[in-house]
Amino acid sequence: MNDLIQTVAVYALPVLFAITLHEAAHAYAAKFFGDNTAYSLGRMSLNPIKHIDPFGTIVIPVLLYFATGGAFLFGYAKPVPIEFGRLRKPKRDMAWVALAGPAANFLMALIWTLIIYALAIGNVQEEFFMLMAKAGVLTNLVMLAFNLFPIPPLDGGRVLISWLPNKYAYKFAQIEPYGFFIVMALVLLKVIYTWWMAPVMYVASLLLQLITSPILFFLK
């Protein structure tokens, strides 16, 4: 129980920020490209309560934590409602709306990385803040990589549908009702993490290092 409390304390804010900015970014992008659905429903918001799904964000992760001893965790936020037909150029703009969420997670990972450097520069001794900042980087890289997996309704699936020729895009989109079950099966088989998430997270980490390398230079 103490381990759970400590884990929740460290990850609570990073997870809330990650899911909030991810979903809000989808809403902002949708409005920018012509769909006001999420905006009209109050989902274009940085208020975490607007995006929390009680079952997917709280109940499922806690149950999985106890069921697997913390070895496997999964959860989800309340998806932002988007009517792609209202976008100015639905097939093209679908990709930009989908990419907005992972892009927001990359931005958050960058911010948490800068916080780590700030804590190091300030010689902050409190370990909790460093653990939280590292959790922020990890949480956002995980969300970025997972959501980019190219199966609808994940963001990567939307991007692939947008990029495929119309004939193939239509056929590929037909798997969306089964997409959640396909993804869950691949998660349980550890296919997604090993063959997709780990490489994507590695590349994203390299980009973070490249962007923040000037700071590291001055720290040495």
Q: Which residues are catalytic?
A: 23
Q: What is the pLDDT of residue 178?
A: 95
On the question of pLDDT at 67 being above 70, the answer is no
List the one residue out of 136, 85, 88, 84 whose CA is nearest residue 115: 136
Choice among 71-80, 174-183, 205-214 with the minimum mean pLDDT: 71-80
3-state secondary structure of 89: coil
Average pLDDT over residues 63-72: 62
Average pLDDT of the residues of the chain: 89
What does the domain layout of the chain look like in residue ranges?
A: 2-219
> What confidence tier does 72 reach under pLDDT thresholds 50, 70, 90?
low
Sign of CA dihedral 172, 175, 181, 182: negative
CA angle 21–22–24, rounded 5-degree value: 60
Phi, psi values for residue 90, rounded to 5°: -50, -50
Question: pLDDT tens digits, residue range 154-171?
Answer: 999 999 999 999 999 999
Question: pLDDT tens digits, residue range 84-118?
Answer: 999 999 999 999 999 999 999 999 999 999 999 99
H-only helix segments in the chain: 2-32, 37-40, 60-68, 90-121, 127-147, 155-163, 166-173, 176-188, 191-192, 198-219
Reported pTM = 0.91
